[in-house]
Structure 1
Amino acid sequence: MFDWQNMRHFLAVAKSGTLSGAARELGVDHATVGRRVTALEAELQTLLVERLPRSCRLTAAGVLVVEQARRMESAAFDVTRQVKSQQVTLSGRVTLSASPVLATHFIAPRMFDFRQKYPAIQLSISAQAHQVSLSRGEADIAVRHVRPSEPGSVARRVGKMKFDLYASRTYPDLALPEHWAFIAYEREFCDMPQQRWLLEIAGNRNVACELSDITGHMVAARSGVGVAGLPCFLGDADPMLVKLEHDGVSFLRDLWLVTHRDMKRSAIVRTVMDYFTESFASTMELRP
């Protein structure tokens, strides 16, 4: 038999193709990953990974092992989910994944209220721009901006996030739309719906600066550098910003609350989902 933790590290190397990538995924240093893979190779008495200068390549034996290991990992996740889904008490840890803007500006401000109502539930909030895997146990619940397609997931639409244009009240060109300069996302985010919407409105007008996240856009807009496209629940609540009239179309993103179908049976997961469903419904700028 082999140590499952060694196998987990080997799977991470197979997935990322590098020791450093596996280390980032697992939250350890690359030396630990290398040591774990070497230990697995010793347990199985075969070479699984070729260490190249800039990457790792699976050997023929490694390819065979990784396919079986993925099935084992999937089964392990199934066991973990099914055990957790039987939980009937409202105590324990629940992981909730959401985009950084919602995690920081919508979920985190509600932690005190949630704690008052459910003191035995520990919420772990993961601010992720990418979609986490619910089937792999990367989160118990996720807030998504698109309808989920992951097999085994169940979802409810809980709101809509409306965007509009905002600028500082002291922005010099506030009354001169033809002179507006815009705050956009970096080019790697060019396919994001809100980026396409903003640039369509901007047209031939200048882009003043590019930042990677909405919080950065809001701070830059406050500074007076230009016009930002912000979620209305943020822009309307900021006394330093003013909503701008423009000729462009409005922009909305759906909000979906998602969990794995196994986890839907868990009382603690249902409680968290019900709480945030009500939170979205009670927020005028986000309600369905």
Structure 2
Amino acid sequence: MESGRMEGGRMESWDAWQTLLAVVRTGRLAAAAERLGIDPTTAGRRVRRLEAESGRALLMRRDGYLVPTRACLDLMPQLEAAERALRGVGAGLAGPEGGRPAWRTVRVTAVAALCDHLLAPAVPALLAGRPALGLDLIADDRNLSLTRREADLALRLGPPAGRGAPAREIGRLAYGIYAAAGTAAEELPWGALDGAMAHLPEVRAAERAAGRAGPRLRAARLETLLRLARAGAVRTVLPDIMAAGDPTLVRLGDTPVCTRPVFLLGHPEDEAAPPVRAVAAWIEGLVAATGADG
């Protein structure tokens, strides 16, 4: 393999290249193996064989994840082109009897709160009438790289840093103060995300409200704060999409304590692709429906 090209018989084992693509997209051998229906040992062996054949490292470990090396990034356009071509062959062979659909899967990455409480509940409406569309929802606090094809679309709570895929603001996410229904909410201690996220407006709002003493309880995840609020342990600042419809919680006050901009990122070359365009429009509609004012 020279200059990042797949030559000779090196493409004879598509399974190995497909495994490499899955590892690049998930960042973990176990997750890639689960996606492909194999065990992690097999996934690791396939990647090592590719590295041995190419004489280059294709993956490296960073912050607990497997990320592509420069040599691997050079191969990605060819691998993805081969993947698309094989999907097209599969669709052509499916025939009128159907068989297994050849999904055109769109990968969307966002923080867990957006995946779980904004996107996931609305998936049936997206898929209705779109039998060939598949969807990967990747709940990850990392900023997955669109240029490396770790995702097709990304939702981020704030403008992306540095250069990369174009981003546009599609709405704002509103946050309110929530506590367990039936409690003396004004007497509850404050809870907030931990100090590593002290720069976030929702954390600053909780710290201002808590005063000099500061929040009594902290958590690393919004989901944990939600559970603490449900248990009657704290009052805290949560996104309305997460808490407003929860019958165990009450919102303290009518106006948002803060809002955060929601940015949608995508590949310019994918803008005309109907599946990606459909998913992007679906996301924009969901964010617009939250109705948060700037």
Give TM-score scaled by structure 1 length.
Answer: 0.70
Q: What is the percentage of aligned positions where both structures have the same residue? A: 22
Q: 1:139 to 1:183 in 2, by over 3 A?
A: same
Unaligned runs of 5+ in 2: 34-38, 59-68, 89-101
| 1:253 paired residue number | 260
CA distance in structure 2 between the partners assigned to 1:24 and 1:188 by the alignment: 28
CA distance in structure 2 between the partners assigned to 1:207 and 1:116 by the alignment: 44
Match of 1:214 among 216, 222, 246: 222
Aligned residues: 250
CA distance in structure 2 between the partners assigned to 1:217 and 1:76 by the alignment: 44
| 1:169 paired residue number | 181
Q: 1:191 to 1:83 in 2, by over 3 A?
A: farther
One-letter amino acid matched to 1:205: A
CA distance in structure 1 between the partners assigned to 2:218 and 2:276 by the alignment: 38
Query: Offset at 1:252?
Result: 1.2
| 1:278 paired residue number | 285
Q: 1:29 to 1:251 in 2, by over 3 A?
A: same
One-letter amino acid matched to 1:144: R
One-letter amino acid matched to 2:51: L
One-letter amino acid matched to 1:234: M
Match of 2:151 among 139, 145, 162: 139
Q: Is residue 233 of structure 2 the alignment partner of residue 225 of structure 1? A: yes
Query: Offset at 1:136?
Result: 1.1
CA distance in structure 1 between the partners assigned to 2:199 and 2:170 by the alignment: 24
Confirm or deny: 8 A CA contact 1:164 1:229 kept in the other structure: yes
| 1:112 paired residue number | 124
Confirm or deny: 8 A CA contact 2:109 2:139 kept in the other structure: yes
Q: 1:157 to 1:48 in 2, by over 3 A?
A: closer
| 1:265 paired residue number | 272
Partner SS for 1:238: coil
Partner SS for 1:163: strand
Q: 1:81 to 1:228 in 2, by over 3 A?
A: farther
Query: Offset at 1:188?
Result: 3.7
Match of 1:72 among 53, 71, 74: 74
Q: Is residue 207 of structure 2 the alignment partner of residue 196 of structure 1? A: no
Cα offsets for 1:82-123 (capped at 9, x unmatched) = 989x9xxx9621111111111111111111112224232112
Cα offsets for 1:43-91 (capped at 9, x unmatched) = 46x7979xxxxxxxxxxxxxxxx65x1452354377479989x9xxx96
Give TM-score scaled by structure 2 length.
Answer: 0.69
| 1:54 paired residue number | none
Partner SS for 1:111: helix
Q: 1:193 to 1:40 in 2, by over 3 A?
A: same
